[in-house]
Amino acid sequence: MTTSIQFWDFEVWNFLITLSALFGAMLIANGLRRSIPFLKKSLIPSSVIGGFLMLIFIGVYKAIAKTTPFHTVSIESLTYHGLGLGIVAMTFQNADKRSGKESRRDVFNSSLLTVSTYLVQGIAGLCITVTLFYLIGSWAQSGILLPMGYGQGPGQAFNWGTTYMNQNGFEHGSSFGLSVAACGFLAASIGGVIYLNIAAKRGKLRDENAEEKEDLTAAVITTRGEIPLSESLDKLTVQFALVFVSYGFAYAIMYGASKLCDLSGVGLLVNTVKPLIWGFNFLFGMLAATIVKAFFKVGKKVGFVHRSYTNDFLLTRISGLMFDLMVVASIASIDLSAFRYREFWVPLLLVCVAGGVVSYFYVRFVSRRFFPGYSDEEFLVMYGMLTGTVSTGLILLREIDPLFKTPAANNVIYQNLWSILLGAPMLLLLGVVAQSMQMTFVTLGALVLLLALMLVLLFRSVIFRKKAKA
């Protein structure tokens, strides 16, 4: 006897209800942000406020009904996949190559700033939690989630928190990672507002009464040679299709790679490399999207493809949608019950405060030293990104550079490839840090050495610049 699903069954509606609640929370948050002066001045993104609204609603519902209103898996899946899908959409965009020696130098220096800040955060986080391990018995390696939550954002914080929870016995690991990411948005807002007030005293802040204009000319929305906006298949549908097909391709690559690890029977591959594969879904998404882009490029050369199927304007909207969903879902996924344990909230509080402080002063020092002419703009966009997300950094930057006239906005976008290459050793350390206390100290030492290398590269660029001027 076959079982059939009735349309009134909750399973039919569960995922759509979850999406409706998340989008509804964002709309309410956006209204509150526009109508309440304190929230508007705080510069906290609407998706972050919406996430906290959802978190409060879920907490109250659980306290009254003794059950959760949504399937936890649905919300956590949106957190995990939101990052990957957003990165795939960004990869499909046709980034213009910046010319000029100074432009390339600033992009490279921005990547060094990004990776070195990850390392500073990782060192600070591990030093705190290793100390607390001996004092109150908290999980020694939890501090390594600071650069994941602050530097990488909610998606990676959730990925690695869950990995450590499932593979290494870190109780409430996913909630710890998501809590760090949520605190990162607060750190970005607080630090950003402090810096903007300092900039305002120097006359650098934009006029609040000035009309904010968006460049929505036809050249921005579409370019010559693209497919029509609407024909047998809608142009937006094509963009979504490319993103999701590429992400499915990425899953096939990850599945095949993890199966090879299982078949090898090697402990290092099964216990370390396999979690790394699934933890870095966004990197495989980038790889898959790059392969698909190359296919279309070759197709144009041989005459198989006659038009351009990607549209930067629509792809930007898709990546923004995915990142907003990721942020609101990540905060809503936090398990508040974990805060009942001192071993959870004491390291969380100390790690997050330390992360905000060291990130603020380190990014400010590097920005002033290596980005003359637009150090304020570089600080705001990089500090916002390295405590929240790229969107957070751009929100802060718009307060001082609304039309993105300085190179700061381009730096934060084009530095990604260099950051991945330079940051690869640190990412590999994530797979071994929790294997034992000995490996924890080895990882801490490796982070210090990597930071020294990044600083040498940064100061070498200054030395070469002085020689060129001489």
Count of structural domains, the chain: 1
CA-wise closest residue to 157 among 189, 182, 136, 139: 182
Rounded to two decimals, the pTM is 0.78
* pLDDT values of the chain reduced to their tens digit, one per residue, 470 residues: 456 777 777 777 888 999 999 999 999 999 998 999 888 877 788 888 999 999 999 989 988 988 888 888 888 888 889 888 988 988 888 765 555 677 888 889 999 999 999 999 999 999 999 999 999 888 999 999 999 999 888 888 888 999 899 888 898 899 999 899 989 988 988 898 889 888 877 776 655 444 455 556 655 677 777 878 777 888 999 999 999 999 999 999 999 999 999 998 887 788 777 877 887 788 899 899 999 999 999 998 888 888 888 888 899 889 889 988 988 988 888 887 788 888 889 999 999 999 999 999 999 999 998 898 889 999 999 999 899 887 788 778 877 877 667 888 778 877 877 888 898 889 889 888 998 999 999 999 999 999 999 999 988 755 655 555 55
Is residue 152, in this structure, part of any structural domain at all?
yes
Q: How far apart are CA 363 and CA 202, in angstroms?
A: 19
Q: How far apart are CA 456 and CA 446, in angstroms?
A: 15
The DSSP symbol for 406 reads S
Structure tokens at 56: 């409060």
Q: How far apart are CA 32 and CA 37, in angstroms?
A: 9
Q: How far apart are CA 268 and CA 257, in angstroms?
A: 14
The DSSP symbol for 207 reads P
Is residue 258, in this structure, part of any structural domain at all?
no
CA-wise closest residue to 419 among 151, 185, 78, 60: 151
Structure tokens at 281: 């879904």
Q: How far apart are CA 187 and CA 192, in angstroms?
A: 8
User: Per-residue b/e over 346-363, b at no fewer than 16 CB within 10 Å?
Assistant: bbbebbbebbbebbbebb
Token pair 């905060």 in the structure block, residue: 331
Determine the structural domain holding residue 423 and report its residue range: 21-27+44-206+214-225+308-469
Structure tokens at 376: 């304020």
Strand partners, 230: 234
**CA dist list (Å): 275 to 5, 9, 106, 170:** 35, 35, 34, 15
Is residue 1, in this structure, part of any structural domain at all?
no
| Residue 230 backbone phi and psi in degrees, to 5 | -150, 120
How long is the chain? 470
Is residue 146, in this structure, part of any structural domain at all?
yes
Indicate the residue type of 258.
S
Structure tokens at 35: 């109508």
